[in-house]
Structure 1
Amino acid sequence: MKTIYLVRHCQAAGQEPEALLTEKGEVQARELATFFAGSPIDRIISSPYHRAVATIQPLAQERRIVVEEDTRLVERVLSGVPREDWFERLRDTFDDLTLELEGGESSLTAINRANSLLTEILADVHKNIVLVSHGCLLALLMKSIDNRFGFHDWEKLSNPDVFKLTCHLETRELVRIWS
């Protein structure tokens, strides 16, 4: 059995890759380390975006685990051009996984990217892994695990947020554990 914790980053000052955590986000990152106090962790993999790495750094330092950065965990780019209707179009991409906006990445492409890492993790020797990423990518990954997870679930995600994915030989159980 493997346990994979899917963590959405703490509150950040922006969406760009180098966006810092806010003061509140820094407090949340320390709270997240406390949250995991009773949980065994063997490996931590994060999006290389600053806000994701900073989210898990307190836990990594406390456990003396090196944070591995993996570009497969970066946020999904909806469109390469600014869109006033981004919210509606994002909803559309949860209904049509192949929909690809100009300069963007389809949901299916993002799912496949994240799932390639998940496949590697499932074949790995580590049993308790933390993945740190971003709201949309995590929502799509969770949709690929449980098709009932959709756009409205993405809307309910918090910063931070934590889901526990328990993988047995043939089954996967996904449950939100952050409150």
Structure 2
Amino acid sequence: MTITGKFTDETGKILKNTQLILNINGKQYKTKTDNYGKYTYKYKTTTPGTNKVTVSYNGNVNYIRSSVQKSFTVTDKYKVVTLPIYRNPVTKFINGDPFCTIYETEYAQYNPGVYAEIDERGLEYPPINKIIKVTFYFKNNRGNIITRTVNPKYKTGAETSLISGYTPFKADITYCKMSETERYNYWYGY
């Protein structure tokens, strides 16, 4: 992430080539304004949750000490949930969204295949999460395992065909939260 700002006095006069101290979650870093009063500091965010940044100026003979504090939220980008695959659907709720796996061997509600999805039936609001990819695991009667990784056609589901001689047994679903704009656009079809 990049922390940027412009350092001016109360009249709007830029304070160029001025040292500033950044306090990010209790650790201090130094930066300096450029000839236009702007400062930039690149920081690798590693603490999930709310993070605080304080930019401080120690003052000099012309200006008193000052500081400004902002916060930002870091969320884990991707998470993985593993669901077993059985003949009957398996569901696990994450952030209120029903993640499920479905195994179809005949033409019914779904075509034959294996599905991992956020089941939107009954949801009153757009899903919170989106699926990034799904790794399906298949096993034959000798214990050999084949995996197939699929990117979803839609934000809330992925599917793959069955493999002759192999039975699906689990799915690793990689997901993350949608932004509010993504949720709105998804729900209303934009």
* Normalised TM-score (structure 1): 0.24
Q: When you count strand as a share of all residues, which structure comes out higher?
A: 2
* Normalised TM-score (structure 2): 0.23
| Higher relative contact order (Cα pairs below 8 Å, separated by 6+ residues) | 1
Q: When you count helix as a share of all residues, which structure comes out higher?
A: 1
